[in-house]
Amino acid sequence: MKKTAAIYVRLSQEDEKKAVSESIQNQIAFLTEYILKKGWQRGEIYCDDGFSGLGFQRPAFQKMLEDIEKGKVNCIVTKDLSRLGRDYIGTGYLLENYFPKKGVQLIAVNDGVDTMAEDNQQQWLPFRTVLNDLYAKDISKKIRTSFDTKRKNGQFIGAFSPYGYQKDSKNKNRLVIEEETAEIVKKIFQWYLQGDSMTAIAKKLNSMSVPSPGIYKMIHSGYENKNMKYGLWTQQTIKSILSNETYAGNLTQGKTKKISYKINQTKKIEQKNWIVAKNTHHAIIEPMVFEQVQKLLFQKGGAQPHHTKAEHILKGILYCGDCKSPMTFRKNKKGEFLLICSQYARYGLCKRHQVYEKQCNQIIKNTLEQYMEKVQWQSALKNKNTQTEKQKKYEKKIQALKYMQTKLYEDKIKGLLEEEEFLEILQQIKEQKKLFSKEKPCPCEPDIQYFLNKRIFLLQFIEKIEFFEKEEEIKMCVHWSFSSAP
C-alpha cells in the first residue's frame, strides 16, 4: 500500500507581494510533484490563504490538527518551515514534541527538513524557526516605520475616518468634512462651552435620537463593533471628541500601538507621544475654540494625566440591584472613590446609586471579622499539616505544574489560546515553580487584618453585592457564599 502524504500550504498578505513562486497554486503543484516522485499518494490538501504565520488560529491548520488527532494524517509535506509558522515557540513545540508524540512525519522540502530522518541536518531546526520568527519581526518593524512616516507627513492611515469627517474620494489619505456629522461636532463643543457636562451632552443627543459614532459607522460602512452594547452616546464618547485635536485641523494619530508583533491587541499611548501633523485638513472647530475647551477639560479634571491604576478589592462583584448592571468607580475632587451604577454613568439610564467605596469596604471587613472570631479563625490557622503531608502536597503541586505546562503548549498550537494569554499563563507557571521551591512552614500566625485586605481572600466569601436605591436611600445587599451568613 502506498504511503499517503498530506499537503499544507499557506500564503499571507505580505507573501502576495513577493514573486509568483509563493502563490498557493505553485506551492501545491511543487509539493504534488515532490510526493509523486517519491512514489507516494497525495492526501488531503490543507490551504490557508491570506493568513499570517505568527499565529496558529488558521482554519485549515486547525482542521489538520483535528485530523491528526483522529489518526487520519501521519505525514505532512510543506514547502518550508515558514509555511507551517513563524512563531518559533509554537513551531518548535510542533517539531520537537507534538508531531513526534503523534507519530507524524513533517517534511519541509526547501529547508531539507524531515523529522523522521536521522541525519545531522535536523539539529539546525531550532535555528531555522528562530530565523523565521525574526523575519516576521523585521517585516512588522518595517510596516510600523512606514506607517509612522505617513502619519508624520500628515497622511491619514486609519481604516475609518473620525466622526465628522470622511476620506477624500480622490485621496484616501486625506480627510474632508462630512457636513451632517460635522454639525453635531460643532454642537458638542458649543454646549460644553455653555456649561453642559459631558454626561448631559450625551443625554441630550440620545434624547434627540442622533446616531452615535458607532451606529453611524455601522450604517455607512457595515462595520459592527461587537463590544458596543447599546449604541448610545456616552460621556466617554463626548470626551474623546472634545479632546481630539483633529477637529482643529491638526491630524492626530498614533494614539495606540500593538502590544507585540505576535499579539493582535493594542495599548494606549501617552498623549505626549501622539503624532500630530499641523494644518493637514479643514478644521471643524476653530483652533481658539478648541484651546478654550482643553482648558475647561483640564480645570474640570477631564484631561488630567494618567496615574497608577487603583486597586479595588471588591471589583467585579458590585452590581446595581435595580438594573443589574455592574457598579463603576468614579473619583471625586477629594480623591475619594465612589460607586455609581454604570448604566447611569454611561447612558443616563437607571439611577445614580452612589455610595463611597471606603464605606462599602469597611462594612464588609467588619462583618467578616466578626464572623471569623465567631468560628475561631485564629485557632483554625494553628491546625497545620505535618511535614510529611506538606512534602506530599509539594510534590503533587510540582507534578500538576508540569502537566499544566505541557497542556499549555498543546492548547496554544490548537488555537485555544492567544499569544498574550499563552505568555501570561506560562509566566504564571514559572512564578509558581519559583514560589513552590522556596515554600517553607510559616512559624507565625497571620494577622486577620492581612487577609481582610486581600481581594482573593474576600472573594471566597462573597458571591456579589447589590445596591438598591429607593427615595434617595441606598440599601446594600451582600450575597454570601456560605450558608451561615454573619
Residue 385's pLDDT band, with cuts at 50, 70 and 90, is very low
Domain membership flag for residue 366: no
Dist CA 240 CA 238 (whole Å): 6
β-pair type (337-341, 275-277): unpaired
- pLDDT value at position 370? 75
The stretch 112-134 carries a mean pLDDT of 63
β-pair type (41-49, 4-11): parallel
CATH, residue 191:
3.90.1750.20
- pLDDT value at position 486? 46
Look at residue 198 and tell me whether its pLDDT is greater than 80: yes
In the block, cell 509523486 appears at 36
Least confident interval from 104-108, 206-210, 405-409: 405-409
Dist CA 322 CA 308 (whole Å): 32
pLDDT tens digits, residue range 450-465?
A: 556 666 667 777 888 8
Residue that terminates a domain, selected from 109, 143, 177 = 143
Residue that terminates a domain, selected from 299, 324, 342 = 299
| Contact predicate 186/286, CB 8 Å | no
The stretch 171-191 carries a mean pLDDT of 93
- pLDDT value at position 62? 93
What cell numbers appear for 132 in the block?
523565521
| Contact predicate 174/281, CB 8 Å | yes
Same domain, 98 and 49: yes
Same domain, 163 and 284: yes
CATH, residue 20:
3.40.50.1390
Same domain, 63 and 184: no
Same domain, 132 and 25: yes
Residue 391's pLDDT band, with cuts at 50, 70 and 90, is low
- pLDDT value at position 457? 67
Dist CA 317 CA 478 (whole Å): 10
Structural domain of residue 189, as residue ranges? 155-299
Dist CA 216 CA 111 (whole Å): 50
Look at residue 248 and tell me whether its pLDDT is greater than 90: yes
Whole-model pTM: value is 0.47
Same domain, 119 and 47: yes
| Contact predicate 376/445, CB 8 Å | no
Count of the separate structural domains present in the chain: 2
Look at residue 49 and tell me whether its pLDDT is greater than 50: yes
Residue that terminates a domain, selected from 251, 268, 299 = 299
